[in-house]
Structure formats: C-alpha cells, structure tokens
Amino acid sequence: MSPAQSSALAASPRDGTLEVLRERGQREVFCGLTGIVWLHRKMQDAFFLVVGSRTCAHLLQSAAGVMIFAEPRFATAIIEERDLAGMADCHAELDRVVERLLARRPEIRTLFLVGSCPSEVIKLDLANAAQRIGARHLKGENGSEGVRILAYSGSGIETTFTEGEDACLTTLVPEMPAEASGAAQSLLMVGTLPDIVEDQFLRLFAELGIEHVGVLPARRAGALPSIGPNTRYLLAQPFLGETARALEDRGAVRIDAPFPFGADGTAAWLTAAAAAFGIDEMHVNRVIAPGRERAKRALERYKPALAGKRITFLPDSQLEIPLARFLANELGMIPVEVGTPYLHRAHLAADLARMPEGTRISEGQDVERQLDRVRADRPDLTVCGLGLANPLEAEGLSTKWSIELVFSPVHGFDQAGDLAELFARPLRRRDVLRI
Amino acid sequence: MQLAVWTYEGPPHVGAMRVATAMRGVHYLLHAPQGDTYADLLFTMIERRAARPPVTYTTFQARDLGKDTASLFQNAARDAVARFQPQALLVGASCTAELIQDDPAGLAANMNLPCPVIPLELPSYQRKENWGAAETFYQIVRHLADTSVRPAPREGRRPLVNLLGPAALGFRHRDDIREVRRILDLLGIDVHLVAPLGASPEDIRTIGAADFNIVLYPEIGDEAARWLDRTFAQPAIRTVPIGVGATRAFINEVAALAGVDPALALDDPASRMPWWSRSVDSTYLTGKRVFIFGDATHAVAAARIAHEELGFTVCGLGCYNREFARDIRNAAKEYGVEPLITDDHLTVEEAIAAAAPELVLGTQMERHIAKRLGVPCAVISSPVHVQDFPARFSPQMGFEGANVIFDTWVHPLVMGLEEHLLTMFRDDFEFSDAAGPSHLHGHTKPEPVLAPAGDILIKEDAAPAMAGELGWTAEAERELRKIPFFVRGKAKRNTEKFASEMGLGAITLETLYDAKAHYAR
C-alpha cells in the first residue's frame, strides 16, 4: 500500500475502469487568460502582456471584477486592423509596445507575452518574439538585473481556465536552475497558492523535517528553485499536466497523493510527501495531528448542514474531482454529477479512488445538455460559473460560484472550515430567506 | 497595436449581445472560441438577469481549425434553432472567428432555417461595443421592418411613437423608459414600440406604424432612426431629456411634432430639482469644479446640468466614444474647456489629476480614479457595474431623473451646512484629517490599494497633500494645516503658484493670505 492509500480516508475501492461521460459542445468556461488574475498577484515582479483583441482585454477586466489597480501588472496589446495587414508590422508593433512598457515599469523582472485566440490564429510567433526582445534585456541599465521574457498561450482555442496557469508554469520550468550534482533530495511544491496557505505548508514541511523545499511559481523571478533527478515534486493543484511533464523532463519525480483539501485530504497529501522523504510515521502523525484535529473540528460544524445534500459540479477549474471527494468523504455530501473540463487520470488517481461509487463523472461540456441534466437531477447545490449562477437560481436551484474556489484560500488544514463554509452558505441563505 | 489596461467598451459583438439580450424571440449564434462565453456574466451578474443571454457560441478549438469549423457552425445553428425556436436568428463572428473567415452569413443562408436570418458584420479590429449595438439594431430593423406598414390616419386616435435605443446593460435604461412613458402619457401620446429593449421580431415588423421616433440613446438607436426616416419618412426627436432644461425642450419638441399641448407635461409638480437647486442650502454648490467624462450623450447632458442647473464650473469634459466626438467638442467650446476624446483611462486619470476638480462625474472607471485621488464622484454613464442597477426606481431622464441626479451628485459633496460647521469647528479632533466627513464612511484618504507601491498612480498635486517641498516656512505650514483638508490641496497649489509667479523664494504666512486674496472668487 502506498502511503497515500494508507491514510484513514473512507476510500471506496474501484476497479480500474472508470466510466466517463464525454461531451463536446458549447462550453461555459473561461479561457486560460483568466489565470493572469491570480498569477500576477503571486509573482510580484512579473508583468503579463496579452497579445490579443479587445475581447481579451474586456474578458480580463470582467473576470477581475473590480478595477482596483490604477496600473495593474497586466495589460493587453490590442491587435488592430493595420496590424493584420502585414506580419512584419505586427512584430515591430509588439517590440514598440514592450519597450514602452519596460521603460515605464523598470521594477518588472519577468515579462510574459501571453498568446490569445487571435494571435494563435494569425500565427504570431510569441516565443520567437520573446527571444528577440529578451536578447536586448539580458542585462538592465548599468549592469543591473535584466528582464526575463517568456511566452505562453492562454488562448481559448487551446486552454480552459486553469490550463492557463499550467501553460505559464510550463514556460518557467526550463528557467529553473539545475540542482548541483549529488544534491540532497529536495521537495518542490507546484501550483499557485495564496501566500498564507503556502506559508502554512512550508511550516509543516519544515516541522516534518523536509529540509529543502522549493515552490513553483516563486514569488520573485530571482527565487526560482533548482530542479533535477533528486527533486520530488508534489502538486498542490490538479490542473498542471503540462507543467508536470516538463518537470519530469528535467528528472523530477511526482509524489502521488490526493489533493490537499479538508482534514483527511491534507493529511494524506502531507503524509505522501513525508513518506517520499523516508520520514518516520510516528513523527509525521505527531506533526500533522494538531492541524488535522483543528480541521476536523471546523468541519464538524458544517456536517449537519451539508451531510446528505446532493451536489453537482459543472466543469470549470479542474478542482471539481478533488473537491467532490472532499465533500463526499469528509462532509457526507452526495455528488450527483462531477463535471471537469479535462480529466487527468494519473494526477487524480488518488482522488478518483476515493469517490463514491456511482458518481457520474463528465468531461468536456455541452452546456445545454448538461443543464437539462441539472434540471432533471435537481441537486441541492450546483457549482457553476458566473454566467450560469443567477439563471439557475431563478429556476429555484441553489448555486455556488465556482470562481470563488479558485480565488479564495481553500487548501490545507486551516482553510478546511472556510472551504466547507463556501458550500454551506448558499444552502443556509436559501433556508433563512423568507422573501 | 494599442496598449490597453482597462477598456471603456467591449468588442462589437458584445454590443450585438446587448441588443439580442434586450429583445424577446431573438437568438444570436456567435462563431467563437471557448472563453468568449465570459460575456454572459455581464448580463447575469452585473444586470442580475434571471435568464442567460440568448446566445449560442460555436466553441471551436485549435484542433478544429483548418478542419471543419464550418460544419461546427452549421450544427450549432441547427441545434440552437431547434432548442430555442427563435423568431429571428442573428449570426456573426467574434474577433477570432472573423480571422478564420468561415462566412457565417453564407453558411446560415444555405441552411433553409425556419426563421429569418440576420447576418451581422461587425469588424472587431476596427469597431467597438456601442457601434456593434447600433449596427445590430439597424440590421434587425432593416431586415424585419415591413415597409408596407404605415401609420393609420390621425383622425380619432392619439399620436403614436417608437422609443429607440434602450438595450441590455444600459445605464438606467429600464427606469428612463418608465419616466419617458409617463411624460408621453401626460401629453396624450401612445408608445407603439420600445426597441430593442423588450421588443420581439414581430413588434419590429410593425415599426412603421408610429408617427415618429424618439431616439433616447443615440449611441445605439440613431443609425436605425436615420434609416427609418429615409424609408418611412418617420421624423425623429433627438433631444435627450436628461436634466430639467433638456426635459422641457424635449417636451416642447415632442408636443410640436405630435400637435399636442406641451403644458400638459411641463408643469409637473414632481419636478423638485429647480427649487432644490435654488434653495439656500445649495449656495455652497456655486462654482464647484466638476470634471465630466462618459459616453458623449450622458457627458454632454451632465455638462449642461452642471453648468445651468447646479451652478457648477465645468473644468473638464470628455467622452470615450469617438463616433460622437463632435457633440463633445461643441459642448466643450461652450464651457471653455479642452475636449478630451480618448479611450485610454490613464489619459483620463492624468487629465482629472491636472484639473483638480472638486467632483468627478464619470463612469465606473472614473469612480475608481476619483477614489484613488480622494475626490468625490458620481456615476453618470456606462460602462456599468452592479451598483448601477439599483433595485429602486432611479431614472436619469425626465423631471424625476433630474431629481435623482440632484441627489446623486450632491450627496458625495460635503453638505452645505456641514461645510460651515467644519469651518467653525475645524480645530476639533472630530474634524481632523483622519476623521473625515461623516457621510464618506470616515475616510477621505485614498483607500489602501493592494498593489505594490509602483502600481499606484497618485499625482501628488491632486491628493490633499501636505506642504513641505516648496520652501514653506514652519509658520506658514502650520497655518496651512489649519485649513480644512478638503480645500487644503487647492490652497496649497494656489499659494505655490502665486509664489512662483511673484518670484518669491519662501512661502510665509503673508504669502498664504496674499495668495488667498489673489484667488478670491
């Protein structure tokens, strides 16, 4: 038994065959550009320049919701009619925009050129542009630190919502320094987490006795951790398939674990990491016991409200499977349909193994048909995007906005209660309203 | 390429969505990649619409390109028509689909669909949201209007009008219509059709039955109105009834065209704004410097109200929609300011900071700018935000609209009586900088911004800043601090300007009061 499976989760064993309903049609999901909204908060000296259309700029400000920054660290270079007239012109224009931007924002250390649907369709080679512009910025003025220019695509024709982060982190992997030969075994935690959650995990790893811990993405460009065959990586987010592949190309080895949601999920995740470093099981239990107990106590409060309630996830962030596992195993909810835009079977194996038998799992989307199923199922709660929430509420179906699950701190022991609260609140609201 | 941080307008297909969503019985098939569905949330979240916009996105992916995006489009068209059974189908492309040149119009035309198909050509790389809305509405009217429908003979019936322009996601459109209907009812005029908001394709078919049109929102309705004028010889009223003066002008024009007595609507006892403005408490409003920015129609109307009806001084005027720049230029000339025609909000921010207004009237963008600069602000125009859809009746048009505007613009300012009290008690701790005016939630300081310092663009001379840099003597600086914080910035600027004009090296107590006398209104 692997360490992950030996945890106390109420795992329901499944045979290897997993039936998945695959659908193709209209998708009510954001494109990968949306990831910029949280990525730019995480990487504090990075700027994200989308090369796209007015639609891209409009999407970003609509998804960001409020315009709290005078000059945020993202912007759109809007392609115009005259740029489409000739490609040479387009590259010159991009150079001009980037130079102006870097002159205006000298504190920027990493600039991501982010491809969009239009830039992909006109085959604007942003990787090439990044190289060309990057060569001019290897060193800053007076020999100061230069600007690293990278390119990835967040286009809707290639990426769904959180896959934008996957594409972004993938471009960072080749930039990571190689670990010294004979380096001690190190742990790499992968996936954007709010700083407060990241720090909680780093404290726990230190207490467990894992000495060398790196984080991808790093908060600053200069702090990229090193990587090599002695690196064991642990995914904190379930949507990082390409990043994982790039890490493995550099020799890193994945630690298999369920994702760190809830008391048991987080315990299993930490236990799996500790096992990979050969840490004594007694010590592991001692270290994680206080947090796990706190999380269990916090979850206990929500059980009366959530146990036995039926829930459907519409595809959005790829967090759906681990979240459904958490709600089913730790709070007694009944997943009816769990939709995900893309199902990464290997990364989600530990979570899938713990899903209740008979859960309908769907991949991809035909939104009209899926909504027909929601209307037929009438779950107590439907987790969906912002475009669908009010219309479903108007039909008498309680909803939870999925975007909050991506923007809020929900991983780890000390957020387990907050995570349960996100699902409990809409139900409580439904019950308290007399209007 | 244009570098954009925030945009005032979305792409033109979002304008088309605003028209389709406003109407009944219409469906919009949009050839678009995944992700363009974000636009749905504008309607369901910002406007709190209870139904999804009637839009089907074909959702093509990279692997479909060069294969069969055309059949994807046709399948989506068949499914959408079968499921939603629209009376008319709009077909078009978003920015990406425009590049792959699948020709949605041709594809749909070949399908023998059981409803009229209206193709939309909205060039995404040239045009923007308002233009897209106007063009879409025009195409709908052109395709669906039955040119044989004409007004019935006038004898024995009330005059009949169409109200053109209101759409989904419009700034107070819902309430403006109710107020304008009330005015028309007082005049004895019937509304034949409101469009696009609430109209069905069948309603549009009979658009020619009205005697004339009223263009409430030229940004969206004017293109169609001009075609109706050419085709049906339906004249159009273009005076937008925002403000008391404009409402009176509107009533007179409508009455003249309909041949009815304007007095029926002119003497409305519910028109409180004129007295509210003349009453003594409003004296303190005199000469308040306002900066106005929005769509051209609302900005021009706001400038007229500010100048004529509230006695403000217009210190800046601009719009983001270039198509209507001429209106802004004409108005700016009247108020002696430079017109600001731009869709770059950083330029707007610089202009506001330089003008140092006491009140900003703008869009949600200017609300954020004003917040950062610590200047009161009221919102007068799209782009909209969830709070621009109040639950209560809150029009901008008509006499009730003027009442609403009075309240909305004046409340962010320190109230007249309160201003006197502040002067009297300015040494009390309650009136210190930190306390701030009670009605502004106790903070006039710019709210903490989450970004690192480099992200914040606060112009030193616009924030209520402290003295220190320009050779102020300690005594003068102490005196400056005694000046109420909300005018201190201006006092400081004026004094420094005065000092440099006089070629003074240091600013003393004398300089401060000399400058005050110099700039006294």
Q: What's the CATH number where A355 sits?
A: 3.40.50.1980
Q: Is beta strand B339-341 parallel, antiparallel or unpaired with respect to B359-362?
A: unpaired
Nearest CA to A165 out of A36, A277, A280, A50 is that of A36
Q: Is A342 helix (H, G, I), strand (E, B) or coil?
A: coil
Q: Which residues of chain A have pLDDT under 50?
A: 1-15, 67
Element (H, E) at B490: helix B485-501
Please, where are the H alpha helices in B23-87?
Answer: 39-41, 69-84
CB proximity under 8 Å: B 248-287 to A: none
Claim to verify: residue A113 and residue A137 sit in the same structural domain:
yes
**Cβ–Cβ gap B458/A70 under 8 Å:** yes
The answer to whether residue A177 is domain-embedded is no
CATH number, domain B464-521: 1.10.8.550
Claim to verify: residue A329 and residue A369 sit in the same structural domain:
yes
**Cβ–Cβ gap B52/A391 under 8 Å:** yes
Q: Active-site residue B295, yes or no?
A: no
b/e per residue A378-416 (b: at least 16 CB within 10 A) = ebbbbbbbbbbbbbbbeeebbbbbbbebbeebbbbbbbb
Q: Last residue of a domain, which of A266, A292, A318?
A: A292
Query: How far, in Å, CA of B170 to CA of B182, rounded?
Result: 20
State which residue of chain A sits closest to B55, comparing Cα positions.
A26
The answer to whether residue A193 is domain-embedded is yes
Which residues in chain B touch residue A167, judged by CB atoms under 8 angstroms apart?
none
- Position B460 scores a pLDDT of 33
Query: How far, in Å, CA of B96 to CA of A213, rounded?
Result: 42
Which residues in chain B touch residue A95, judged by CB atoms under 8 angstroms apart?
none
Claim to verify: residue A355 and residue A400 sit in the same structural domain:
yes
**Cβ–Cβ gap B1/A33 under 8 Å:** no
Claim to verify: residue A59 and residue A41 sit in the same structural domain:
yes
The answer to whether residue A13 is domain-embedded is no
The answer to whether residue A303 is domain-embedded is yes
Give per-residue pLDDT as tens, A335-379.
999 999 999 999 999 999 999 998 999 999 999 999 999 999 999
Point out the residue among A55, A62, A66 whose CB comes nearest to the CB of B94: A55
Claim to verify: residue A119 and residue A241 sit in the same structural domain:
no
Please, where are the H alpha helices in B196-309?
Answer: 201-205, 218-232, 244-258, 263-266, 273-278, 296-304
CA B240 remoteness from chain centre: 13
**What topology does CATH give the domain B12-127?**
Rossmann fold (3.40.50)
The answer to whether residue A167 is domain-embedded is no
Determine phi and psi for B175, rounding to 5 degrees: -80, -30
Beta partners for residue A23, in sequence order: A364
Q: Which residues of chain B have pLDDT under 50?
A: 416, 431, 436-468
User: What's at B357, amino acid-wise?
Assistant: P
Structural domains counted in chain A? 3
Query: How far, in Å, CA of A397 to CA of B498, rounded?
Result: 66
Claim to verify: residue A246 and residue A144 sit in the same structural domain:
no
The answer to whether residue A365 is domain-embedded is yes
Residue range(s) occupied by CATH 3.40.50.1980 in chain B: 12-127, 160-266, 273-417
By residue range, what is the domain housing residue A262? Answer: 186-292
Distance from CA of A204 to the nearest CA of B (A): 28
Claim to verify: residue A428 and residue A344 sit in the same structural domain:
yes
The answer to whether residue A179 is domain-embedded is no
Claim to verify: residue A135 and residue A193 sit in the same structural domain:
no
Claim to verify: residue A80 and residue A194 sit in the same structural domain:
no
Q: Last residue of a domain, which of A245, A269, A292?
A: A292
User: Does any CB of chain A come closer than 8 Å to the CB of residue B379?
Assistant: no
Q: Is the CATH number 3.40.50.1980 carried by domain B160-266?
A: yes
**Cβ–Cβ gap A389/B95 under 8 Å:** no
Question: Omega of the bond prior to B376 within 30 degrees of 0, cis?
Answer: no
State which residue of chain A sits closest to B66, comparing Cα positions.
A121
Q: Last residue of a domain, which of A292, A327, A344?
A: A292
User: What's at A110, amino acid-wise?
Assistant: T
Element (H, E) at B57: strand B55-57
User: What's at B288, amino acid-wise?
Assistant: K
Q: Is the CATH number 3.40.50.1980 carried by domain B273-417?
A: yes
Q: Which of B79, B281, B407, B428 is catalytic?
A: B281
Claim to verify: residue A308 and residue A349 sit in the same structural domain:
yes
Concatenated DSSP letters of A363-414? EEE-HHHHHHHHHHH--SEEEE-HHHHHHHHHTT--EEETHHHHHS---SGG
Query: How far, in Å, CA of A325 to CA of A309, rounded?
Result: 14
The answer to whether residue A10 is domain-embedded is no
**Cβ–Cβ gap B37/A368 under 8 Å:** no
Contacts of residue A40, defined as CB under 8 A and 6 or more positions apart, other chains included, come to A46, A47, A48, A72, A73, A74
Claim to verify: residue A343 and residue A364 sit in the same structural domain:
yes
Return the number of CB contacts < 8 Å for A and B. Answer: 209
Q: DSSP letter for B209, please.
A: G
b/e per residue A250-284 (b: at least 16 CB within 10 A) = bebebbbbbbbbbbbbbbbbbbbbbbbbebeeeeb
User: Does any CB of chain A come closer than 8 Å to the CB of residue B124?
Assistant: yes
Q: Is 0.90 exceeded by the ipTM?
A: yes
Element (H, E) at A151: strand A148-153
Give residue for tokens 């509107």: B250
- Position B413 scores a pLDDT of 84
- Position B372 scores a pLDDT of 84
**Cβ–Cβ gap A386/B45 under 8 Å:** yes
